[in-house]
Amino acid sequence: MTDHHPKWDREVDLLITGAGPGGMTAGLVAALDGLDVLICEKSQQVGGTGSTSAGTLWIPGNRSGAAAGFTDSAEDARSYLNALIGDDGADPRRDIFLREGPGIIDDLTSRTDLDFVSCGHHPDYRNNLPGAGSSGRAVIPAPFDGRVLGKDFVRVRPPIDDYFVLGGMMVGKIDIERLLGRYRSVENFLHSARLVLRYIVDRLRYARGTRLVMGNALVAQLYYSLKKNHVPILFGTAFKELIVADGRVTGAIVGGDTGPVRIRARKGVVLATGGFAHNPKFRASFMPDPLPVHSMAVLENTGDGIAAAELAGARLDAGRNQRGGLWSPVSRIRRKDGSTGLYPHILLDRAKPGLIAVDGEGRRFVNEGVSYHDFVEAMYRSNESVPTIPAWLICDLSFVRKYGLGAIHPGTRSLRKFEKSGYVIRGDNIDGLARRLGIDGGTLAQTVARHNRFAATGIDEDFGKGDTELNQFNGDPDNRPNPCLAPIDAPPFVAVAVWPAEIACSAGLATNGDAQVLDSDNRSVDGLYACGNDMASIMAGHYPGPGTTLGPALVFGYRAAKHAGQQASSPS
Ligand X SMILES: Cc1cc2nc3c(=O)[nH]c(=O)nc-3n(C[C@H](O)[C@H](O)[C@H](O)COP(=O)(O)OP(=O)(O)OC[C@H]3O[C@@H](n4cnc5c(N)ncnc54)[C@H](O)[C@@H]3O)c2cc1C
> Looking at 27, 52, 60, 158, which residue binds ligand X (CB under 6 A)?
52
> Rounded to the nearest 5 degrees, what angle is found at the Cα of 536, between the Cα atoms of 13 and 376?
140
Mind giving me the DSSP string for 177-194?
HHHHTTTT-HHHHHHHHH
Q: Does 342 bind ligand X (CB under 6 A)?
A: no
Instruction: By CB under 6 A, tell whether 292 contacts ligand X.
Output: no
Question: Rounded to 10 degrees, what is the CA torsion of 466, 469, 470, 472?
Answer: 50
Task: Report, in Å, the least distance between residue 277 CB and ligand X.
Answer: 8
- Point out which span in 2-10, 44-52, 352-360, 428-436 binds ligand X (CB under 6 A): 44-52
| CA 412, chain centre distance (Å) | 27
| Span interacting with ligand X, options 96-104, 279-287, 294-302, 347-355, rule CB under 6 A | 294-302
Does residue 21 bind ligand X (CB under 6 A)?
yes
**How, if at all, do strands 259-271 and 138-141 pair?**
unpaired
Give the integer Cα–Cα distance in Å for 134 and 120: 9
Q: Is 23 in the site for ligand X (CB under 6 A)?
A: yes
Q: Which residue blocks in 54-171 are alpha helix, DSSP H?
A: 63-67, 74-85, 93-111
CB-based burial, 389-417: b 16+ in 10 Å, e otherwise: bbbbbbbbbbbbbbbbbbbbbbeeeebee
Instruction: State in angstroms the smallest separation of the CB of 473 from ligand X.
Output: 15
By CB under 6 A, residue 53 contacts ligand X: yes
By beta-carbon proximity to ligand X, the closer residue of 222 and 430 is 222
Give the SS3 label for residue 153.
helix
Displacement of CA 63 from its chain's centroid (Å): 23
Cβ distance to ligand X smaller for residue 209 or 329:
329
Dihedral sign computed on CA atoms, order 58, 403, 412, 390:
positive
CB of 304 to ligand X, least distance (A): 3
Comparing C-alpha atoms, which of 421, 439, 422 is closest to residue 430? 439
Where does this chain touch ligand X (CB under 6 A) — which range of 85-93, 298-306, 426-434, 467-475?
298-306
- By CB under 6 A, residue 231 contacts ligand X: no
Which of 72, 300, 368, 374 lies at the binding interface for ligand X (CB under 6 A)? Answer: 300
Q: What is the dihedral of CA 297, 18, 271, 309, to 10 degrees?
A: 70
Give the nearer residue to ligand X in terms of CB position, either 42 or 267: 42
Is the CB of 35 or the CB of 277 nearer to ligand X?
Answer: 277
Task: Report the alpha-carbon distance of residue 106 to residue 102 in Å, rounded.
Answer: 6
Using CB under 6 A, count the residues that bind ligand X.
41
From the centroid of its chain, how far is CA 215?
Answer: 9
Distance CA 117, CA 98 (A): 19
In this complex, which beta carbon is closest to ligand X, that of residue 54 or of residue 394?
Answer: 54
Looking at residue 151, its amino acid is K
538 binds ligand X (CB under 6 A): no
Q: Does 251 bind ligand X (CB under 6 A)?
A: no
Tell me: does residue 238 bind ligand X (CB under 6 A): yes
Q: Judged by CB under 6 A, does residue 124 bind ligand X?
A: no
Please report whether residue 50 would count as binding ligand X according to CB under 6 A.
Answer: yes
For ligand X, the binding residue among 101, 274, 369, 475 (CB under 6 A) is 274
CB 21, min distance to ligand X, A: 5
Note the residues at the interface with ligand X (CB under 6 A).
17-23, 40-43, 48-50, 52-56, 238-239, 272-275, 296-298, 300-301, 304, 344, 503-504, 532-533, 547-550, 553
